[in-house]
Structure 1
């Protein structure tokens, strides 16, 4: 990668990072009410993401063979 390509890559990463950091403050300033859809998503998405992660991490658990999912059950119990 040439020096120019490195500079362009770094500039693109910096621009993308700044855009994702500053865009919410530009779209939803403090003096305006948050749209109901955004408030709903802010309330519901954390639980939905956690549920999806639990399902994804346990999807290949073999309950009828080996240790019968005991390590996974212990991990879930400790996490809860």
Structure 2
């Protein structure tokens, strides 16, 4: 599992699969609101309907501080 964080977008991506090749996320479940409406979560699935990653929008309000600090820059 790997976490990246884009400070400009205030978005984190949590990769659950070892690696997500380009085009592997073939299905998405959009706009899952977090409790209190503080952020959104988008789930990415592969062709076999397995969860491979998730994006957290407004990550600074949704994720614990230590997760943001430990996250890598996506660039």
Which interval holds the TM-score relative to the shorter structure? under 0.3
Q: Which has a greater percent of helix?
A: 1
Q: Which has a greater percent of strand?
A: 2
- With structure 1 as the length reference, what TM-score do the two structures score? 0.21
Q: Which protein, 1 or 2, shows the higher relative CO under an 8 Å CA cutoff with sep ≥ 6?
A: 2
